[in-house]
Every structure is written in structure tokens, then in C-alpha cells.
């Protein structure tokens, strides 16, 4: 009994509950980043929507997670499956918005990670179309995730300008913050308006590199003390950090939050995970099952 | 601190034990173990990170602890029947970042400890002593056979 009490002294759960964000407009229920998925998410009243934006060759922002048309969820408009080799990739920076929308359909392929997802095959949605949907939902918090990936994408300043100017032109009352996997587009957003809240999705997982090895490398560096969450945010000149739960260390997260650095965790898709990480002093938990029915 | 360690390391020292559960930094049992049901791999990795090899230094009762998670210099004062108390400095790659103190019992090749780790958020990447934690700790070590001090 004494031992249990003794051990309980070191860990204190955070007060309150983190905000729950609908990852890619709640991909657990409808295809990720889809028009139907985002419409259903707004209809369901999820408090925060997270979605991803990439730029086409003609600098139009479309809603998609990867810098290329993802063959795991998209086909050609006639239903033909896309090649999955790197050489087969169709990068958005190389096609126009019209070509992207007319040439491909996404959401009609079964996704192993989301067995209960309703399949809806439809064209890639534009940022303008999503903003049309968001109008009339002033209470929805928006997590705008800029998917810039170096040479695979249009320039970061172009990303920042196109995404933010289109958003600001609508003069929507929604609270929002902007994230990205690399600091560059966030720094460009800050140049446009330093009051925008920016969150760096750290660590970056470069295309083609082993995510396990990348994660282990950062784990060792933070344990040894050669990397620190506050130092990372300061060096990147961002306001917050967005961390995958697999590399999150509770003590370091607590210290960083206590030092004034807000943190979000992604992507938690089990009820047990949401409950356990919900006790951390984080600002938000990102999940594909925001309705509280994660498996 | 660095000077003391350099002096200590300049002399021969010997292996004392491996602390499978180390008292410094003491964060595994408080922060990581409760996450095991939802983050088993991470919990296991961090268990390994805190495993500490303890070296007995030429200075009587002085020990150098070395793990990925912490490096420490601890003084153990024996009492009787294998019981004793200990206290020391814990560092992050030789940057002082806290202290450890407690009581222990050594019998045969086993050492059990109970105490507290006082740890800050300071690292070389971010030398910040504004955040502190006082954590209850348990130590479980296996190594050289315990020899009671003479007298």
C-alpha cells in the first residue's frame, strides 16, 4: 500500500481536457481530406477540423495530404489504379488544378487502417471549396496543415501567400492555427502576419527514410539532452509543436508546456490512447475518430 | 563537477553493479511505466535508456553511474546489515541537472534502493533550471557480491 502511494506521488494528471481535432476531417469515417468527409465533419459538429493543403503548378491550393496524387486512395478518373512506384508519382507541382480535379478521383479505395470508413469516390477538393463549406460554422477551430516538402513542392513563400491570402480574404471569424512538417512555410506565414499561431510538426520524416530510425535518432538525442523541445521551437521560430505520440516524452512535454510552449499530439486512434494521453497537459489530441468511438 | 569527474576518472575504478531500475533520473517509473498499456515499445526503449552501470571509484563509497538517460556521482554511506543511505549529483552529459538521495539495502549481489530524485529540465540544448520535479524512486541493481565494511 505504501509502495503504491509512494509511486503515485510523482505523477500528477493535467487539469482539464485537451481539444480533440478531427484528423483530415475525421478519416476514420469518410475518405481523408474529402469534400464529403469535411462536410460530414462540419455537420457532426466536431470542434476542430484538421486538413492538409498542397499547391498545384498554377498555384491553386487543393486539399490533399501528399505532394503527389496518393495511389493508395486515388485512381485515374476512369477508375484505373495508379502505379505505386516512385517513378509513377504525379506531383501536384507539375499539374494544374484543373488537371488534378478532372484527372483523378479519390476516396473509392478501401483503406486498411480504416476498415469502417465509408467509401466515396470524388474529385480532389480545392481550398476555396472547403472555405465555402466552413462559412456558416464560425465556432469550428481550424487546423490548417501546409504540406510543403522541399523540392517536391512549390516554394514555401508561395505556399504561405496562396493559402493564407485566400483564407484571410474570406474574413472568417474562426479561430485557427497553421502547421507544417518543415519550419520554412511557417516562417513565411509569420512574415506575412506575425500574429498567426504556427505549430511545427516535429520531427520531420523525410520521404524515403525509415520512420523508425528517424524516431529512434530523435529519441536518443532528447534523452541525451542534445535536443530539447523548447530549443527546437525557438530555433525554428514557431509558436507551438505538433508531435507524434510515439516520440512524445511526458516529462519533457510537461516541462515544455510549463515553459510556455503549447503542444499537440497526433495521431491517436484508440480509446485507450486518447484516454491516457488526454491526461497530459497538451493543447490538443489529433484523431481520426473524434466522435469518441475510437476502437 | 567536470573537474571532479575528470579526477575520479583518472584513477582506476571497478565495476560494481548494473541498476536495472535506476534511481536517477527516476522518470521511468513515474512517467513512462504508467504509459505502458498504450505505449509499450516506447516504455521498453526508455527502460533500456535508464539502465545504469555503476562503477566504484577509488574514493571509498563513491560511485559513478552511467546510462543514456543520466550520468551521476553518488556517495553511499553504509550503516549495518547491508543498510545505508546515499546522495549524489545527477547530470545530463555532465551538465548538473539535479540530485538523488535515499536509502538502500545490499545483500549478496542485489541492491535495493528507495529514495527521491530531484530533477530539473536543464540540458545542454536548453540550459534552463526553471522546471523542477521531485520524484519518488526505486532502485534495483545486480552486480558484485556485497562485502560489509570492516569494523
For the stretch A223-264, pLDDT in tens is 999 999 999 999 999 999 999 999 999 999 999 999 999 999
Which residues on B lie below 8 Å from A228 (Cβ)? 123, 125-126
Hunting for cell 543514456 — which residue is that?
Answer: B68
Q: Are B61 and B76 in contact (CB under 8 A)?
A: yes
Could you confirm whether domain A16-70+125-287 is CATH 3.20.20.190? yes
A252 in contact with B, Cβ within 8 Å:
yes
- State the number of CA atoms in the 13 A half-sphere of A240 facing the CB: 20
Q: Are A166 and A128 in contact (CB under 8 A)?
A: yes
Number of domains in chain B: 1
Partners of B51 in the beta sheet? Answer: none
**In this structure, what CATH number is given to the domain that contains residue B101?**
2.40.160
Helix (H) or strand (E) holding A130: helix A127-134
For the stretch A11-54, pLDDT in tens is 678 777 899 999 999 999 999 999 999 999 999 999 999 999 99
Total residue count of chain B as it appears in this document: 151
CA of residue A201 relative to chain centroid, distance: 8
Q: Are A26 and A41 in contact (CB under 8 A)?
A: yes
A245–B39 CB contact, under 8 Å: yes
Asked casually if ipTM beats, i.e. exceeds, 0.90, the reply is no
For the stretch A268-277, pLDDT in tens is 999 999 999 9
Residue B120 located in a structural domain? yes
Tell which phi-psi region holds residue A59, choosing left (phi > 0), alpha (psi between -120 and 50) or beta: left
A44 in contact with B, Cβ within 8 Å:
no
Q: What's A193's DSSP letter?
A: -
pLDDT on residue A3: 53
Closest-CA distance, A55 to chain B, in angstroms, reads: 35
For the stretch B17-72, pLDDT in tens is 999 999 999 999 999 999 999 999 999 999 999 999 999 999 999 999 999 999 99
Q: Is B126 strand, coil or helix?
A: coil
Which B positions 108-137 lie with beta carbon below 8 A of chain A?
114, 121, 123-126, 128, 130-131, 133-136
* Cell numbers standing for residue A18: 485537451
* Cell numbers standing for residue A249: 516524452
Boundaries of domain holding B19: 12-143
CA B102, B107, B111 angle in degrees (round to 5)?
A: 40
Nearest chain A residue (CA) to B41? A246
Amino acid at each position: 500500500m505504501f509502495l503504491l502511494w509512494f509511486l503515485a506521488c510523482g505523477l500528477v494528471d493535467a487539469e482539464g481536457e485537451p481539444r480533440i481535432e478531427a484528423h483530415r476531417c475525421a478519416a476514420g469515417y469518410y475518405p481523408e481530406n474529402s469534400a464529403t468527409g469535411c462536410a460530414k465533419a462540419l455537420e457532426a459538429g466536431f470542434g476542430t477540423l484538421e486538413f492538409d493543403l498542397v499547391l498545384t503548378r498554377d498555384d491553386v491550393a487543393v486539399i490533399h495530404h501528399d505532394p503527389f496524387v496518393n495511389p493508395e486512395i486515388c485512381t485515374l478518373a476512369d477508375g484505373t489504379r495508379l502505379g505505386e512506384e516512385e517513378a509513377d508519382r504525379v506531383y501536384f507541382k507539375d499539374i494544374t488544378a484543373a488537371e488534378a480535379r478532372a484527372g483523378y478521383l479519390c476516396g473509392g479505395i478501401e483503406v486498411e487502417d480504416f476498415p469502417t470508413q465509408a467509401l466515396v469516390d470524388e474529385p480532389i477538393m480545392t481550398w476555396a471549396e472547403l472555405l465555402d463549406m466552413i462559412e456558416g460554422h464560425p465556432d469550428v477551430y481550424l487546423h490548417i496543415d501546409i504540406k510543403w516538402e522541399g523540392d517536391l513542392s512549390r516554394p514555401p513563400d508561395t505556399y504561405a501567400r496562396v493559402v493564407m491570402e485566400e483564407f484571410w480574404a474570406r474574413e472568417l471569424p474562426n479561430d485557427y492555427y497553421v502547421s507544417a512538417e518543415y519550419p520554412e512555410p511557417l516562417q513565411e506565414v509569420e512574415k506575412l502576419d506575425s500574429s498567426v499561431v504556427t505549430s511545427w510538426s516535429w520531427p520531420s520524416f523525410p520521404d524515403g527514410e525509415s520512420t523508425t530510425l528517424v524516431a529512434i535518432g530523435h529519441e536518443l538525442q532528447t534523452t541525451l539532452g542534445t535536443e530539447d523541445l523548447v530549443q527546437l521551437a525557438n530555433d525554428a521560430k514557431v509558436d507551438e509543436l505538433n508531435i507524434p505520440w510515439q516520440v512524445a516524452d511526458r516529462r519533457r512535454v510537461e516541462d515544455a508546456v510549463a515553459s510556455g510552449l503549447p503542444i499537440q499530439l497526433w495521431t491517436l486512434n484508440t480509446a485507450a490512447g486518447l484516454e491516457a494521453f488526454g491526461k497530459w497537459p497538451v493543447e490538443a489530441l489529433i484523431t481520426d475518430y473524434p466522435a469518441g468511438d475510437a476502437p | 563537477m567536470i573537474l571532479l569527474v575528470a579526477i575520479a576518472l583518472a584513477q582506476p575504478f571497478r565495476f560494481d553493479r548494473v541498476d536495472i531500475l535506476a534511481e536517477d533520473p527516476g522518470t521511468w517509473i513515474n512517467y513512462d511505466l504508467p504509459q505502458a498499456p498504450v505505449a509499450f515499445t516506447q516504455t521498453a526503449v526508455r527502460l533500456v535508456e535508464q539502465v545504469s552501470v555503476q562503477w566504484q571509484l577509488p574514493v571509498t563509497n563513491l560511485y559513478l553511474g552511467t546510462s543514456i538517460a543520466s550520468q551521476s556521482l553518488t556517495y553511499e554511506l553504509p550503516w549495518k546489515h547491508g543498510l545505508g543511505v546515499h546522495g549524489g549529483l545527477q547530470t545530463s552529459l555532465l551538465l548538473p541537472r539535479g540530485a538523488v538521495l535515499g536509502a538502500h539495502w545490499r545483500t549478496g549481489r542485489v541492491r535495493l534502493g528507495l529514495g527521491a530524485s530531484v530533477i530539473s529540465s536543464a540540458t545542454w540544448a536548453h540550459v534552463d533550471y526553471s522546471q523542477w520535479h521531485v520524484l519518488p524512486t526505486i532502485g534495483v541493481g545486480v552486480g558484485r557480491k556485497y562485502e560489509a565494511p570492516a569494523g
